[in-house]
Structure 1
Amino acid sequence: MRQRIAFLLVSAAVIGGMLLWLPLAHRTEARALARAEAYAQAVNQDYQTPEKIYRFLCADFRARMSEADFCAAWEKERSYPYITPLYLFWPEVTAYSGDTAQVTFLQAARIEGMTYPVELVYENGDYYVRDWASFLDGSYLEKFEDIPYSLDWYYDT
């Protein structure tokens, strides 16, 4: 009987330790950087399926904007005649606290050294991105009120 109790206590301690350790295993600067790289990959390569980008966004954002509304805002944002579309590369973790990480990407642009900062938040066992606040308040639409140029000549239409 004592052996069974000892076995159960040791098993419970091992399982409890694993359950406590597993969530902490993802809470590293390396994991934050990996999630930032995956987010950039989604923005750069999966821009035609914004649902994949939406999955990277933090719970606070997803509680305030549905996936369908995000996809509509993404499509509208992508319709703006930028000379260089959003393309993120070389993420660098500039601040890290465990629960949050500040990541700065280089952004493909005509202005050398242009950066794109985002914040990653640790929730639900992984890092999620806090980005696109302008979608929530609608401020991204202001740039459509007066477009000073056209890129139709560039696209040969």
Structure 2
Amino acid sequence: MNPADSVWKNPVHFLAFGLGSGLAPKAPGTFGTLAAIPFYLLFQYLPLWNFGLVILVSMVLGVWLCEQTSKDLGVHDHPGIVWDEFVGYWITMFAAPAGWMWVIIGFVLFRIFDIWKPWPISFLDKKVHGGLGIMIDDVVAGVFALVSLQLIARFAI
């Protein structure tokens, strides 16, 4: 199945492909992360516990979305599946300071951890399969980027 065809016809694939951002011919993960920013700009005004609930629901939903789309396409962790990048970025930005500088720093930190995949991210990426496997490495990359962002906010700036 051609992902480009299914993304515009199947709402599960549309979400898993980050509202179509995962169809970018180069660096779909980066484009997926960019597509997550406008949602964060809305979520940042939620009470913290509501933003946390959005992240939790998005993670659980993401396991299912990614699993289903992966099965339908017959490709485990197709590069165009970027819902995991959405969630990873939102985790990064949980309780982030306000301002565009922090949006950009969070973006850069998340992309670094998502691409570099230091341990245990690399271990999880290789050993956990299915929808959970697609999601978990980005969730942990988001946690690493969250901690880094908070440390920078607290001590460096």
TM-score by length of 1: 0.28
Larger radius of gyration: 1
TM-score by length of 2: 0.28
Task: Judging by fraction of residues, say which structure has more helix.
Answer: 2
Larger RCO (CA within 8 A; separation ≥ 6): 2
